[in-house]
Structure 1
C-alpha cells in the first residue's frame, strides 16, 4: 500500500513537472524575436535573438553640456549665507570683500567689473593693483560707498557687522557666501559667487573642474604611513599659532596624505605655539604662509620659534611655504595646491628616508 501511494505521488509530480515545462515553452515561443524594454531612466533597450543583429542595442540620451553665459543673466535674487534675501540688478561695479572672493570673480571672467578690493586680494596680480577698501575684518562704510558699488560680495569674515548693516541701509546689495573649511568648501563658494553675479553656468564649469582635480589628487594612505604635518600661522614674534581643524589647511593636509597636528593636539581654532605641544606631536613637516615665513627671517628664524628646532621637521628643515591667499583662501586654485602638496610631501619623505 505504501509502495502504491509513493508511486502515485511520483506520477503526479511527473505530470506537474511536464505541464510546467510545456507552459514555459509555449510562453517563450509566443514571444517575438526581439523585445523592447523601457529602463527606469526611460531609455529604450532592444534585445534581439537574431544572430545576424547585435545582441544589445541601447539608445542613450545625450547629456546636455553646460554652456557658459555670454553675459550675466540679471536681475537675480539670492538667499545668502547669512540668511538675507538679496536682489542684484547689476554687476557693473563689483567689490569683493576678501581676497578669495576676488579670485573667484576674476576666474569667472568678471574681473573687468571689479572696482576695488580689500588688502587680502593678492591674486591674480591685476586684483592687487586695484584701489583698496581696507582689510576684510575692519571695513568702513564710507570709503566703500565712495566707489558706488552695484554689488558687494564677502564671506562671514567680512565685518564688522555694523559696517555691513550701514551699507545695506544705503541701498547697496551685500551678499555673504559660504567659505567652509572642508573639501567641498571651494566649489560651494564658487557656485554661490557665480549665482549672485548672474553666471551660474560659468560657476558650475569652474567648480566641476576644481572638484575633478581635488578628487584626482586626494590620497588614501594608511594612517601609520602618513607624515605628521603642522600648519602654522606666523606674523613676526607677536603672532605664532598652530592652526586647527577650522582652517582650510586641515582638510588639505589630510587629502594630501598627511596626518594633521590639529587632530593630535585636539585644536579646533588655533593655539599658541609651545615647545611642549610641538615636542609631543613631533611634526615631520611644517606648512606656513610665505609672508609669515618672511616675517621671521625665513627658515632660520622659524627654527628659533618655541621648540620647532627640536622637532623632526626642524631637524630636517622640512618647511613648505606657499602664498597666503593660496594656502588659506580655499579658492579656485585649491585643486592645484593639493596636487603640489602631494608632490612636496612625497619629496620630503623621500629625502628624509635617504638621509
Structure 2
C-alpha cells in the first residue's frame, strides 16, 4: 500500500506565516483600538457640547472649556471655587481673588474691554458678567467664533446660587456646583433667619461711601451692590431714594443721619475715621459722633460671589455686635 508522505513545512516558511499572522493581528488590534478611541472621542465631544441660554437670551453652544477668559471678579471666584482655576488663561482687572488669579494675564477693566485683547490669548470660552463692556466690544466678541456667555448680574442670595449652578453647568462641574450652591443656600437662609429677629425700629441706618473726592462723598443709592449688601446685613440705606452712586450734598447726608458709614479698603489700607468724619457732609451725622466706620475689602463686600454670605454676616456683626449670628467655617 502506497502512503502519501507528509512533508514538514520548512522552518523559514513557518516563521514567515507566523510573522504575517502576527502583523495582521497587530494591525487589526490597532485598528480596533483606534476606532474605539475615535468613537469615544466623538461621544465625549458630543456629550461635552452643551447649549446654554445666557443673560441676553442668546443660545450659546459650549464645547471645550480648557482655555477660559473670565470677566468679572465674581465669575473668576466661582470658577476657582469649582476647582477649575487652572483652565483660566486670562481675567479682567476686577478679578483679584483668589491671590493666584493675579498671576493670570489681565485683559483690562470689565467695562473698558478690547475685543482684540480678549481674543489675543486664544480662548475657547469667554464667561463675562452682565454689564461688561463697552457694548461694541461685547458685540464683536459675540460675533467671533469663540463662544461667550453673559452671566446674569443680580444682587441676592438666590441669584448667587443660580450663578454658581449656571457656571458649573457651563464647565461640566455640575456635582461640585450643586455642593457649593447647597452650602450657600444654607448660609443665606441661616443669616436671613437671624436678621429677621432685629426689630424694625432698631435697624441701623448705614450709608456706603465709595470715595471722598475733595471731601464730597460719593454715596450709594438704590440699585447698587452696596445698597443690596446693606439690606442683606439687616441695615437701612438712608440714601436709597437716589439711583446709583451719586455725589451727596451736605444737606442730603445731614438729613439722612446715617449711624454707620461703610467704605472699602484702598491700596493704601483702611480709611481713617478722623479723615472720613472731617468731611462737612458727615461731620454732623450720628456716625461721626461715634466714629462708626466699617471698612472692608471691596471685592469681598460687593463681589456677590461665593464669599458673599460671609461678607454679609461680617457686616451684620459690625452693625449689630450683640446679634446672635450663625457660625460656619471661615471661607478660604
CA RMSD, Structure 1 to Structure 2 (Å): 2.2
Could you tell me the TM-score, scaled by structure 2's length?
Answer: 0.77
1:242 and 2:216 aligned: no
SS in 2 for 1:184: helix
Which of 80, 83, 101 is the equivalent residue of 1:109?
Answer: 83
Alpha carbons 1:78, 1:85 under 8 Å: kept: yes
2:201 to 208, 224, 241: 224
Q: Is the 8 A contact 1:217 1:342 kept in 2?
A: no
Give the one of 227, 232, 235 matched to 1:258: 235
Alignment-derived partner of residue 125 in structure 1 = 99
- 1:321-345 deviation per Cα after TM superposition (whole angstroms, max 9, x unaligned): 1111111111110111122122211
Contact 1:91 1:151 in 2 (8 A): yes
| Alpha-carbon distance, 1:79 to partner | 0.8
Which residue of structure 2 lines up, in the alignment, with residue 346 of structure 1? 320
**1:178–1:188 Cα contact (<8 Å) kept:** no
Q: Structure 2: any 5+ residue segments left out of the alignment? A: 1-46, 324-332
Q: Distance in 2 between matches of 1:314 and 1:330?
A: 29
* Residues 237 and 348 (structure 1), Cα distance of their counterparts in 2 relative to 1, 3 Å cut: farther
- Quick check: 1:206 aligned with 2:207? no
Of the three residues 233, 239, 260, the one matched with 1:285 is: 260
Where 1:260 maps in the other structure, the secondary structure is: coil
Superposed, 1:256-335 pairs within 5 Å as 256-263=233-240, 266-291=241-266, 294=269, 298-335=272-309
Gaps in structure 1 of 5+ consecutive residues: 1-72, 350-355
Structure 1 residues 239 and 143, CA, compared in 2 at 3 Å: closer, same or farther? farther
Q: Give CA-to-partner distance per residue, 1:147-167, whole Å, 9 cap, x none.
A: 101111111221112112222
Aligned residue in 2 for 1:22: none
> In the comparison of the two structures, how many residue pairs are matched?
274
Query: Which secondary structure state, in structure 2, belongs to the residue aligned with residue 261 of structure 1?
Result: coil
TM-score between both structures, scaled by the size of structure 1:
0.72
Q: Distance in 1 between matches of 2:229 and 2:263?
A: 13
Distance 1:86 1:239 in 2: 45
